[in-house]
Amino acid sequence: MSESPRVVLTGIGWVTPLGCDIDSVWKKLVSGASGMAPITRFDARTFPTSFAAEVKDYDVAEYLRDPSLHQHAGLNSQFALGAASQAWRRAGLDRFEQLDRSRVGLYLGAGEGVLDTENYMRANLRGWDPEARCIDGVRWAENALECMHAQKEIEQEPNMPLAHLAREFEVNGPAYNCLTACAASTQAIGEAFDIIRRGEADVMISGGAHTMIHPLGVTGFNRLTALSTHKGDPAEASRPFDRTRDGFVMGEGSGIVVIESLEHAAARGATPLAEIIGYGSSCDAFRITDIQPDGRGAAAAMEMALDQAGIDPGRLAENGRPPIDYISAHGTGTQENDSIETRAVRRVFGDLAPSIPMSSIKSMMGHLIAAAGAVELITCVMAIQQGELPPTRNLHHPDPELDLDYVPNESRKAPVDTCLSNNFGFGGQNDTLIVTRFKG
């Protein structure tokens, strides 16, 4: 059996609450900037949580070859288009004329695009009476087909970002979408990695896109008691690993990477940004909204990724450093999640765990739900490229039960060769990716 091809990252792009440009957003991350502010998308003043990390000043038309092709795109699809266009160009695929588009695939972890019908009616229809649920006296149900553009209904489907990307880049290879909650884009990139290793594609566009900053999304997570209800400055609300943590802050956006076989990248003269060397996935088989308390499910995903990467988690690397230089933590800021992730890291790395720095960029960007993992993997790539670790913001009150190195409040210069990125989702989904410096 032939050896599996090496898989490299050649393009990265993101649309985030801190901005869209890779370099400027990275500078904000390492400076500890915050994207949290009062919600402007709808009137949330009466909600238990009235703040979020919204994407601001974003115009998808700036990234498109023909905006008319995507005129009905939902917000999640718009985010995906912007991030993917950045990644596509960074990979140099816009200049590569010999690309076999039947060998270019897509795998996204994209969330549903929820249409708020009531607000849509108020904004777009004259004579809408919300109490009578009618338009100029005619029952809405009788006018449904006339009232709402059919494309708006379709845009609720979670695979629509995938369809928009396929059209924008005219690619015809394998196409998949998964929606495994907060682990979705990590899973998508891991599965795309496996598709290339199996020889089913040369190039994969992968990552995620999501927004749940709408009345239904915020209400749902409030009812689950997952959101922070911090009463002070929104910038101080997301507090992963801090003793006073009380939930996550809703974010939105997209992270997209271009990955390809090393052979394909070399043949077209592309410069790899990093190499993916391990992927692991597991399920807790526990409560729908909780992780196994001892961290066994999360640990299993990490162990699988480390095994595939050929890394012994209990031994120092040849350079005398820990086997992993940095962990991009799931780190949501909920009481249980942060405690269990800490236990899982200790379970995997044992006595070496305290010497491995790990931080959560959700303290600055909020939780991008299905898009979180891809954005956090891009953070790992930037850490490798820049030799700097982003901090966990707002970590001012150490929790005596959480005793690892969470890079509190200030970024840290450090040699970074190999990073591990964790994401865990409702339903018990656990996914881990390992990325390393490309060494030729």
Domain boundaries, the chain: 7-113+158-436, 117-132+143-152
Mention every residue, 6+ apart, whose C-beta is less than 8 A from residue 255. 12, 13, 14, 16, 83, 185, 207, 208, 368, 371, 373, 374, 375, 376, 377, 378
Local confidence band at 111 (pLDDT 50, 70, 90 cut-offs)? confident
What's the rounded mean pLDDT across residues 147-165?
A: 76
Of the candidates 70, 367, 380, 419, the residue annotated as catalytic is 367
Does 288 or 431 have the greater pLDDT score? 431
Is the distance from CB of 207 to CB of 257 less than 8 angstroms?
yes
101 Cβ neighbours under 8 A, 6+ residues apart: 169, 170, 171, 172, 173
Confidence of residue 145 (pLDDT cuts 50, 70, 90): very low
* Mean pLDDT, residues 167-189: 96
The predicted structure's pLDDT at residue 293: 86
pLDDT of residue 134: 44
Supply the pLDDT for residue 131: 54
- At residue 369, the pLDDT reads 96
pLDDT value of residue 327: 98
Question: Residue 413, class by beta-carbon neighbours within 10 Å (0-12 exposed, 13-18 middle, 19+ buried)?
Answer: exposed
Does 143 have pLDDT greater than 70? no
Catalytic residue among 182, 210, 380, 419: 182
| pLDDT attached to residue 2 | 62
pLDDT band at 440 (very low <50, low <70, confident <90, very high): confident
pLDDT digits (tens, 9 = 90+) for 360-387: 999 999 999 999 999 999 999 999 999 9
Crossing angle of helices 22-31 and 372-386, in 10° steps, is 80
- What is the band of 263 on the pLDDT scale with cuts at 50, 70, 90? very high
pLDDT band at 287 (very low <50, low <70, confident <90, very high): confident
Q: Is the pLDDT of residue 169 over 70?
A: yes
Query: Across residues 78-82, what is the average pLDDT?
Result: 97
Evaluate if residue 250 carries a pLDDT over 80: yes
Catalytic residue among 70, 210, 264, 330: 330
Give the model's pLDDT for residue 416. 98
* Reported pTM: 0.92
CATH architecture label of 7-113+158-436: 3-Layer(aba) Sandwich (3.40)
What is the predicted pLDDT for the residue at 245?
98
pLDDT at residue 50, as a whole number: 97
Residue 210 among the catalytic residues: no
Q: Provide, rounded to the nearest whole percent, the portion of the chain with pLDDT above 90.
A: 82
Check if 182 is active-site. yes
Is a pLDDT exceeding 50 seen at residue 151? yes
Per-residue 3-state assignment (H helix, E strand, C coil) for the chain:
CCCCCCEEEEEEEEEECCECCHHHHHHHHHHCCCCCEECCCCCCCCCCCCEEECCCCCCHHHHCCCHHHHCCCCHHHHHHHHHHHHHHHHCCHHHCCCCCHHHEEEEEEECCCCCCHHHHHHHHCCCEECCCCEECCEEHHHHHHHHCCHHHHHCCCCCHHHHHHHHHHCCCCCEEEECCHHHHHHHHHHHHHHHHHCCCCCEEEEEEEEECCCHHHHHHHHHCCCECCCCCCHHHCCCCCECCCCCECEEEEEEEEEEEEHHHHHHCCCCCCEEEEEEEEEECCCCCCCCCCCCHHHHHHHHHHHHHHCCCCCCCCCCCCCCCCEEECCCCCCHHHHHHHHHHHHHHHHHHHHHCCEECCHHHHCECHHHHHHHHHHHHHHHHHHCEECCECCCCCECCCCCCCCCECCCEECCCCEEEEEEEECCCEEEEEEEECCCC
Say whether 330 is catalytic.
yes
133 pLDDT exceeds 50? no
Judge contact between 241 and 395, C-beta under 8 A: yes
- Per residue in 403-423, pLDDT tens? 999 999 999 999 999 999 999
What are the tens digits of pLDDT across the range 44-63? 999 999 999 999 999 999 99
pLDDT at 149 over 60: no
Indicate whether 124 pLDDT > 80: no
Average the pLDDT over 136-161 and give the result: 59
Model confidence at 269, in pLDDT bands (50, 70, 90)? very high
pLDDT at residue 258 greater than cutoff 80 = yes
Q: Indicate the angle between helix axes 160-169 and 75-90, nearest 10 degrees.
A: 40
Q: How many CB atoms lie within 10 A of CB 115?
A: 16
Q: How confident is the model at residue 394 (pLDDT cuts 50, 70, 90)?
A: very high
Contacts of 428 (CB under 8 A, 6+ apart): 283, 284, 285, 286, 287, 288, 291, 292, 297
The per-residue pLDDT of the chain, averaged, comes to 91
Which comes out higher in pLDDT, residue 407 or 41?
407
Per-position b or e across 424-440, b if 16+ CB within 10 A of its CB: bbbbbbbbbbbbbbbee
pLDDT band at 125 (very low <50, low <70, confident <90, very high): very low
Closest CA to 208 of 85, 372, 386, 61: 372
**Which residue is associated with the tokens 């990644």?**
87
For residues 311 and 296, what is the distance between their CA atoms, to the nearest angstrom? 19
C-beta separation of 381 from 258 below 8 A? no
Reported as a pLDDT band with limits 50, 70 and 90, residue 292 is confident
Mean pLDDT score, 147-157: 64
* Residue 135 pLDDT exceeds 80: no
Using pLDDT thresholds of 50, 70 and 90, give the confidence band for residue 116. very low
Give the model's pLDDT for residue 157: 82
The CA angle 351-355-360, to the nearest 5 degrees, is 115
The average pLDDT across 131-135 equals 47
